[in-house]
Structure 1
């Protein structure tokens, strides 16, 4: 720390809020004024303070960044995927931040993906979109849509250059390479083409950033002539749009956190009126996949872990059961191909794939060898196929791409993401690391799974440093994933653990239901139980344990900091949702109304208000010793507004001034942080250097 960089002083401007007779004073509400120069000056001062406080880690940050860079094959190429008459893939080039999206025509007799020297362009390559060119003059780039028309003629794509997830939609002629004058600002993720590629469907958002309108754009006409195809006025519901794999129907999916409804438009009749598959019923969720003369319906009607049914595609009506509900086996999705269905299932905390032939023949589960793993279907745009592409990974196995023959059951490894030699020159060897499943016992007797990975030979005597990661919301499962930057921690003797707490979906729908609304505190107490278990079972000690989480996982971090500050040596909270009560009380903010079915509605329900008030991190900062805290946020984040962690850190300093609290704000990024891969590696190096410092391994 240098004497030239003073500790930022956040002014205190008491602002009263009264709900259900409760008077709350918020001294830092002024930080929500994003356009106020005083706010920007304060965030800039916080960044300077954080840089000064971590200046001693500069060399370590550089080392960690270099380790990630050296272990990554910088010039690389994805496995080409066939769609129609072309193979589609993405390349990266050493030194460039973003991918280059390409295709190459399918040649006579070519049935398997073409290969070339790693990262090199394929012979006959056609560059569709170069992210590096799109990013020129900007610090940020994200694509919201990348959608080639069924005939391969047009590319619809959308770009965000600020991080606020508001995209400008454009159309490129892939024959001439020219951009059409068609341009639509302020669109949302997702597009769908009509069968003849004459019309493009897209989404826009309302004033609370909720996607609520589906539009039809006729290629070659001005956006001012576009037509609203569907508008959703119930503020609980989000809308999305997609073309079925069969390219027969455009699906308009309308969903809240607990209820859904699907409308369909024949892709051959883009001006047709949307027809509802089944009217919404409160509490019933369903999704639709087209298959032949029927719609497949994945639903939870009297089926907590979901069941599969079908109805006529020509005249949707009653649902005919196809796969009955099986408690404990969560049906997550169904993918339809001409002669097979592939179900993504979840059982005992692990994902799996189940193949069902259409007509005669027995179904089967695809087997995988590792006790901890994650598997999912990859992009499979072809409907008439007997071969599917899948992705597989684990905590010790890099991302792997397979082709699986649905008839012969042959599985062929097409590519395993290479891991280059590390700084010591040694080639990565997965057998140098061990992964295993452990279980903690929660306060109410519930067994909570923990996934653990470490370098082989790490002692289990409490001496090892450890990072514990958690999320626990929205039924999102933290399935095992491989990470190159994580190797830098493991090789320094750090144990990495994932706490699969309630509120996630790892153990089925009930696992989610037991960690939301008026049972949300289970998420926090589960995480603390996992942390205590890691200490009790010899993996680490509390003074050598750092907790990490992001977004709703950042809420988890803030909650456990209040609940069990003695359990951790440090806490990393990235884009953290640490002021949930203030946000959920304001229906004008992005996401608020849709979130009432996740957290409850404190605006109308006193019980919900009191419950959220009792755990909201910002509301419950207390005058006790906190572990060191690093909060990382982004100025343009639309999902979790930057001022939540800014206010939280300011209050921590005021109420518990003896602690070490740092705030780092990305001034030109969104919810996911920096967008370029090198910038992302540097951000991860910054966080990991701070973690290693807290663990005594810097």
Structure 2
């Protein structure tokens, strides 16, 4: 029996609980007051390296180029568009922040919408196919509940239509007469798809689909071809799709493939040889997925294998366009992209020079484009946007994120190393550092080790302006690509979930010990960080190897895992049973989770690292009560632990770019202080 003396912290409406959280914030402010100067320097460094007044690369849709602006001193983006000069031209206009754009129309200014509010987030944003109407969904609390509104772009006035309490991702029908949106149940799970006719009372909205099984999230969206509405259901291990003709949205939905426990699939519409087909990516008897093609009118009929299952090459997605498609997959721990020719049935992979990188599609709304828009970057290469010209195979760089202050990628290095876990599994580690301080392993250096390891989510090489404030002070940044993530294929994920979850924690420890043994760092000069499910990793590692790290930063940490997963009335619990197991009905799962759940396993009389937990009062994914209880228990055990709770924010933390920079400056200052670099 586990007695929980801090469960009283769960009631966030209770005045005593709110007072406790404010006291924790005051305690943290007091304990970190000496870092105010360093925080301000880091904030200034982030700001000085960022082009504050800038524009995104325009994306073509219909007769317009769509883009966003940021202005110096403004927290939020300004969404704009400019008319297309030539329908045959797929080269986006070269826009300058200092030059007026001919015909520019401001669609929505986030700064105006956010006035008078401590939090602002857009969860839906779409322009109708004819370009006349704007749909946007706003959350002003951080609880991921959005009010959808519609603006007539010809007049600038909002229509009477207003839909409260929606989930993100509302969308117009292709004809612009309807809005398709989802709502959530009492456990905050999106479970129902609705159809709203513009100009009609919301109370008359038609229910298109409802999913009663609490394990499944529901979403909906139109195919790129605008031919079908796809209703998608998914648990952690099972999926199902239903299809409705976009021209008859009140018509009956047809199932693509009936759900089968443990089978995941996703489909994409195309027209091949004049026939509507669905390309379906699935994992039935194909651990790393295969791609098949079926008749859209009879998806349960004969299947044609298009890309066969290849062990170790994890197929991630297949996006169809009118004349070709693009396949996304992973091989050797890195993401890949390839153009797919319908006629030949073959892939042509795009290649890149760096040994570590990230690549993916970005901003391709049109059905028949002449180019494929992609995003690329690495730990040392700032993110770029390019257009791959289909006819010639030429990659046109449209923009690379500017990094002000004389940044030179050649001043930094990146590489991959491999740790060996207790069971002999080789675990990849990515390293990035500034070369002027020497190569990793020349001498023990301060090191920041990051990890996640759940939901098959991969931590791919990515650039960070804020991270330069660490690297330029001599810190090595490293990512432990532990099991439970997706970096090395589906089996990598399977080996870090359910009754094999401890592999995630032991892999992270193995990575830390490898870096110490290789002379890259030492325990007194190493800090660890993880957020959400990665925060669970941080809590478990603190108990498992408290001597390995000098400090641990846990962002919105899932540290009271057993309590949460035992209570099906809590938001998102039931759907999580596929990831963690069901301790409510399975004694083995209960015992296993109890053996690693951080809150229950805090030990008295042990020297822990210094710990900072960051949370938000309105977080609906990992409730604030988890880190609040954890920090209280740690402090009871004599641990130097602090809690920072944003009182108006959600799972993603504060809103607004300057607020986010200050939040990151706070965290980095704390980490640098632990590493003995507070004066650097």
TM, length-normalised to structure 1: 0.95
Query: Is the Cα contact below 8 Å between 2:451 and 2:480 reproduced in 1?
Result: yes
Query: Is the Cα contact below 8 Å between 2:320 and 2:326 reproduced in 1?
Result: yes
**Equivalence for 1:548:** 529
1:240 to 184, 207, 219: 219
Instruction: Give the 3 Å change call, closer, same or farther, for CA 632–361 of structure 1 in structure 2.
Output: closer
**Equivalence for 2:293:** 310
* Structure 1 position 348, deviation (Å): 0.8
Task: Output the CA distance in 1 between the equivalents of 2:187 and 2:45.
Answer: 42
Is residue 587 from structure 1 mapped to residue 568 from structure 2 by the alignment?
A: yes
Is residue 396 from structure 1 mapped to residue 380 from structure 2 by the alignment?
A: yes
Moved more, 531-540 or 490-499: 531-540
Alignment partner of 1:389: what SS? strand
* Structure 1 position 308, deviation (Å): 0.4
**Equivalence for 1:379:** 363
Residues 12-47 of structure 1: CA deviation (Å, up to 9, x unaligned): xxxxxxxxxxx2100000000100010010100110
Moved more, 107-116 or 78-87: 107-116
Residues 359-401 of structure 1: CA deviation (Å, up to 9, x unaligned): 1485311000100000000010011123100000100000100
- Equivalenced residue count is 669
Moved more, 437-446 or 108-117: 108-117
Alignment partner of 1:190: what SS? coil
Residues 196-246 of structure 1: CA deviation (Å, up to 9, x unaligned): 111111000000000000000001111111111100001100000111111
* Structure 1 position 403, deviation (Å): 0.3
Residues 171-219 of structure 1: CA deviation (Å, up to 9, x unaligned): 1111211111111111001123222111111000000000000000001
**Equivalence for 1:68:** 46
Alignment partner of 1:65: what SS? helix
Query: Is the Cα contact below 8 Å between 2:90 and 2:370 reproduced in 1?
Result: no
Is residue 668 from structure 1 mapped to residue 648 from structure 2 by the alignment?
A: yes
Task: Output the CA distance in 2 between the equivalents of 1:674 and 1:370.
Answer: 34
Task: Output the CA distance in 1 between the equivalents of 2:199 and 2:68.
Answer: 28
Query: Is the Cα contact below 8 Å between 1:468 and 1:497 reproduced in 2?
Result: yes
Task: Output the CA distance in 2 between the equivalents of 1:667 and 1:360.
Answer: 56
* Structure 1 position 111, deviation (Å): 2.8
Is residue 345 from structure 1 mapped to residue 324 from structure 2 by the alignment?
A: no
Task: Output the CA distance in 1 between the equivalents of 2:190 and 2:251.
Answer: 21
**Equivalence for 2:551:** 570
Task: Output the CA distance in 2 between the equivalents of 1:671 and 1:111.
Answer: 38
**Equivalence for 1:646:** 628
* Structure 1 position 121, deviation (Å): 5.0
Task: Output the CA distance in 2 between the equivalents of 1:389 and 1:505.
Answer: 24
Is residue 228 from structure 1 mapped to residue 207 from structure 2 by the alignment?
A: yes
**Equivalence for 1:8:** none
**Equivalence for 1:136:** 115
Task: Output the CA distance in 2 between the equivalents of 1:530 and 1:680.
Answer: 29
* 4+ residue runs over 4 A deviation: none
Residues 309-344 of structure 1: CA deviation (Å, up to 9, x unaligned): 111112322332111100000000011111111101
* Structure-to-structure mapping, 1:323-472, within 5 angstroms: 323-360=307-344, 362-421=346-405, 427-459=406-438, 460-472=441-453
Query: Is the Cα contact below 8 Å between 1:340 and 1:406 reproduced in 2?
Result: no
Alignment partner of 1:252: what SS? strand
Query: Is the Cα contact below 8 Å between 1:577 and 1:644 reproduced in 2?
Result: yes
**Equivalence for 2:59:** 81
Alignment partner of 1:652: what SS? helix
Task: Output the CA distance in 2 between the equivalents of 1:287 and 1:122.
Answer: 40
Query: Is the Cα contact below 8 Å between 1:92 and 1:119 reproduced in 2?
Result: no
Task: Output the CA distance in 1 between the equivalents of 2:40 and 2:399.
Answer: 30
* Structure 1 position 124, deviation (Å): 1.1
Task: Output the CA distance in 1 between the equivalents of 2:126 and 2:376.
Answer: 25
Query: Is the Cα contact below 8 Å between 2:171 and 2:180 reproduced in 1?
Result: yes
Task: Output the CA distance in 2 between the equivalents of 1:244 and 1:157.
Answer: 20
Is residue 631 from structure 1 mapped to residue 613 from structure 2 by the alignment?
A: yes
Residues 238-283 of structure 1: CA deviation (Å, up to 9, x unaligned): 0001111111111100111111110111111121121111111111
Task: Output the CA distance in 1 between the equivalents of 2:188 and 2:345.
Answer: 47
Task: Output the CA distance in 2 between the equivalents of 1:105 and 1:605.
Answer: 60
Q: Which runs of 5+ in 1 are unaligned?
A: 1-22, 422-426
Task: Output the CA distance in 1 between the equivalents of 2:294 and 2:392.
Answer: 30
**Equivalence for 1:149:** 128
Q: Aligned-residue CA RMSD in angstroms?
A: 1.0
Task: Output the CA distance in 2 between the equivalents of 1:345 and 1:215.
Answer: 33
* Structure 1 position 120, deviation (Å): 5.0
Task: Output the CA distance in 2 between the equivalents of 1:465 and 1:350.
Answer: 27
* Structure 1 position 463, deviation (Å): 2.6
Moved more, 508-517 or 356-365: 356-365
Alignment partner of 1:561: what SS? helix
2:478 to 477, 497, 508: 497
Alignment partner of 1:189: what SS? coil
Query: Is the Cα contact below 8 Å between 1:193 and 1:267 reproduced in 2?
Result: no
Query: Is the Cα contact below 8 Å between 2:306 and 2:345 reproduced in 1?
Result: no
Query: Is the Cα contact below 8 Å between 1:278 and 1:317 reproduced in 2?
Result: yes
1:322 to 306, 321, 345: 306
**Equivalence for 1:100:** 78
Query: Is the Cα contact below 8 Å between 1:100 and 1:130 reproduced in 2?
Result: yes
Task: Output the CA distance in 2 between the equivalents of 1:372 and 1:65.
Answer: 28
**Equivalence for 1:209:** 188
Task: Output the CA distance in 2 between the equivalents of 1:110 and 1:93.
Answer: 28
